[in-house]
Amino acid sequence: MSSNTVSILEGNTFVVSDQHGDIDASPSEPAGLFSSDTRFLSRWILTIDGVRPNLLSTDDLDYFAVRFFLVPGTGTVYVDADFSIMRKRIVSKGFHEEITISNHKGKPADLLLRIEAASDFADLFEVKDALTKKGQCYQQIDQARKTLTLGYRREHFVREVSITSTTDTTIDEHGMTFHVHMEPHSSWTTNLDVAMTRTNTQTTASPLRTSVEKPIELQQWLASAPHLSCEWHWLERIYQRSLVDLASLRFYPQILSGKSLPAAGLPWYMAIFGRDSIITSLQALPFTPELAEATLLALAAWQGLMVDDFREEEPGRIIHELRYGEMTAFEERPHSPYYGAADTTPLFLILLDEYERWTGNTTLVRNLEIEARSALNWIDTYGDRNGDGYVEYDRRNKQTGLENQCWKDSTNSILFSDGSPSELPRSTCETQGYVYDAKLRTARLARLFWNDVALAERLEHEAAELKRRFNQDFWIADRGFFALAIDGQKRQVDSLTSNIGHLLWSGIIDADKVQSCVNHLMSERLFSGWGVRTMAEGQGGYNPIGYHIGTVWPHDNSIIALGLRRYGYEEEAARIAVGILEAASFFKGRLPEAFAGYPRSLTGFPVKYPTACSPQAWAAGAPLLLIRAMMGLEPTGDHLLVDPAIPSMLGRLDILDLPGRWGRIDAFSRGKLHMPEEKLRLTL
């Protein structure tokens, strides 16, 4: 999001405005009040006597609340106004705004306050892709109830937003006008409530909740998380910011009865994404394990049951994305839900095992045995489309399905080293690593909890054979790294990318190939000084501001760091952690989805990717996984292993009350790794 915008959110409802609190969206800008993939307000502008006020300051109260302090325009460079305006805005499955005008003069005053309101009811995909509407907008005025209703209808698909004032107002189709009278040194206040209604052929009309009370669960959420202290105080701020951002992105689907899983990110991905929810839950497991439980339950409930080419559903497949907007309702986008991802199914199995290892919740493992077995079956049948022993993807929905169904899912992400495109179907390297890891982990579950030793032995044999073949087929011997993918013509897609770091995390790399991969990851071609780039400098497709072809992704780096620790590369993992965490300090503690891959020596600060989501779930989770990697936190039976490898610049790092099957435990450490080439700014 732009630094000139202000965002507040709760669940999948969010408001993006300018710094004055106004919304004046163009068809292609993600400004407005959004909920369930629909923009309910595209215009919300306050004027005093026909003039938009000037900004004094903006106060972010919480992720769901903000205040704007304004004064009328004076016509000079000096702020010496007779009046001041405060707008307090809260979002909570609805929209509430309290407007207070204070008269600082010693005589009465009369002002004309105006709120202009409009909605284009754009589907989020229409905003993203600059598409036009196909239905009709309408307005309704109820002067007696002080309510203006804006609506949109397309056949049985209806969306409405009702704006109600607590004080007398004159209403027209474009907004509300207030005649404000104030005595000397007095104030005037009105409250505006916005209620949203959605109906279609599947749902009945129901106004969304418009509670404006501060969510008590936020304080409970923060209090239940471990307490972190560090001599480099930025880490404390980054940790707190991560927890708050994860809280703000919690999504409460009806099937979970009060449990929440993380939505992907603001503004484009305020929805459930299988891959994002799984990775975020893995990152947060040592700190907020409840996200993993909710994610597993929700994704199991939406697991594929049939073959549906439009939605790319297949039996046992875990979803990619779930949407509720107009384009989904009319099957112009296949996201209700959409299953086009090759890696979410093995990642689901990885999370199931990792969750049990941390929490000891064997009941969930037993309850999801059928879903886990179905996921294994998908890997071996529908996932392996051509019987070559690898999971590959080729979209069934040729019109609107995703061409790339790995985490680097932009259309130009899987390129040869000369920049030329590869062909479908594609088997990306990291997906094979996930499958290897998933089979070993599920073998453990089968042996310990499902009483199926035969399945465990078969999975272990299949994993060993996959590892042997993978190290043979994907390895580019003359370059010393693994191919990004094998394409439809059985060619090694030979770009050097960050994907090899995911292979370290999964454990699929043979011991004799590890050092070469680590050397590549930490070389100047891949490691920018802030983090590992998605694609190395010098590759034909490299672009430092290309979405998946040269930018640095915090979540990607957190996985790489954990992979480095797995193979014993403590200093390299710490260097990546230091780079990403210091980058977070330049972003006021909140890591964006991605930032540019420019060398650190060139810019001196991390350059944000232009349209990066912020907050974004797995970016918020990245510091948590980096902390785990540096602290060497690993569950071993009913105990937590703590094996810290902390950079000396961080000083002392302590974590109190880490939850798990052991109850609560404390972890203490002191920085001993010396990395003179990295200089942290040790100031707040």
Confidence category of residue 676, pLDDT binned at 50, 70, 90: low
Is 62 a residue whose pLDDT tops 90? no
- First and final CA of the chain: distance in angstroms? 24
Nearest to 641 by CA among 233, 413, 357: 357
Strands (E), 577-684: 633-636, 639-642, 652-660, 663-670
Query: How far apart (Å, rounded) are the C-alpha atoms in residues 142 and 656?
Result: 56
Query: How far apart (Å, rounded) are the C-alpha atoms in residues 408 and 626?
Result: 21
Our measurement of the distance from residue 551's CA atom to the centroid of its chain's CA atoms, rounded to an integer in Å, reads 17
Q: What is the mean pLDDT of residues 473-488?
A: 98
What is the pLDDT at residue 252?
Answer: 86
CB atoms within 10 A of CB 451: 10
Q: Which of 22-26, 149-153, 293-297, 664-668 has the lowest mean pLDDT?
A: 22-26
Burial class (CB in 10 A: 0-12, 13-18, 19+), 681: exposed
- List pLDDT tens digits, range 324-349: 888 888 888 877 899 999 999 999 99
Q: Which of 72-86, 337-351, 485-499, 545-559 has the lowest mean pLDDT?
A: 72-86
Q: What is the mean pLDDT of residues 633-646?
A: 96
In this structure, what is the dihedral angle of CA atoms 207, 209, 211, 215, given to the nearest 10 degrees? -170
Those residues with Cβ within 8 angstroms of residue 529's Cβ, 6 or more apart along the chain or in another chain: 579, 599, 600, 601
Q: How much of the chain exceeds pLDDT 90, in percent? A: 81
Three-state SS string over 338-387 comes to ECCCCCHHHHHHHHHHHHHHHHCCHHHHHHCHHHHHHHHHHHHCCCCCCC
What is the pLDDT at residue 647?
Answer: 95
Query: How far apart (Å, rounded) are the C-alpha atoms in residues 590 and 11?
Result: 18
What is the pLDDT at residue 83?
Answer: 92
What is the pLDDT at residue 75?
Answer: 54
What is the pLDDT at residue 160?
Answer: 94
DSSP 3-state of 104: coil
- List pLDDT tens digits, range 93-116: 778 999 999 999 999 999 999 999
Mean pLDDT (the chain) is 92
- Beta strands at 23-24 and 13-18: parallel, antiparallel or unpaired: unpaired
Q: What is the mean pLDDT of residues 603-607?
A: 93
Is 201 a residue whose pLDDT tops 50? no
- Tell me which amino acid residue 360 is: G
Is 484 a residue whose pLDDT tops 50? yes
- Tell me which amino acid residue 430 is: E
Q: What is the mean pLDDT of residues 128-137?
A: 80
Is 679 a residue whose pLDDT tops 70? no
- List pLDDT tens digits, range 570-588: 999 999 999 999 999 999 9
Q: Which of 125-129, 160-164, 462-466 has the lowest mean pLDDT?
A: 125-129
Those residues with Cβ within 8 angstroms of residue 207's Cβ, 6 or more apart along the chain or in another chain: 162, 195, 196, 197
Nearest to 265 by CA among 403, 124, 84: 124
Q: How much of the chain exceeds pLDDT 70, in percent? A: 94
Tell me the domains of the chain and their CATH numbers.
5-199 (2.70.98.40), 495-684 (no CATH)
What is the pLDDT at residue 324?
Answer: 83
Q: Which of 327-331, 374-378, 408-412, 528-532 has the lowest mean pLDDT?
A: 327-331
Is 207 a residue whose pLDDT tops 50? no
Q: What is the mean pLDDT of residues 430-449?
A: 98
Is 550 a residue whose pLDDT tops 50? yes
DSSP 3-state of 534: coil
Q: What is the mean pLDDT of residues 545-557?
A: 97
- List pLDDT tens digits, range 270-320: 889 999 999 999 999 999 999 999 999 999 999 999 999 999 999 999 999
What is the pLDDT at residue 1?
Answer: 53
Is 184 a residue whose pLDDT tops 50? yes
Q: What is the mean pLDDT of residues 532-542?
A: 98
Give ∠ CA 578-582-588 in degrees, rounded to 5.
Answer: 150
- List pLDDT tens digits, range 226-274: 999 999 999 999 999 999 999 999 988 888 888 999 999 988 888 899 9
Q: What is the mean pLDDT of residues 38-56?
A: 94
Q: What is the mean pLDDT of residues 180-189?
A: 96
What is the pLDDT at residue 684?
Answer: 37
What is the pLDDT at residue 682?
Answer: 44
Q: What is the mean pLDDT of residues 484-510?
A: 98
Query: How far apart (Å, rounded) are the C-alpha atoms in residues 299 and 305?
Result: 12
Q: What is the mean pLDDT of residues 547-553?
A: 97
Is 387 a residue whose pLDDT tops 70? yes
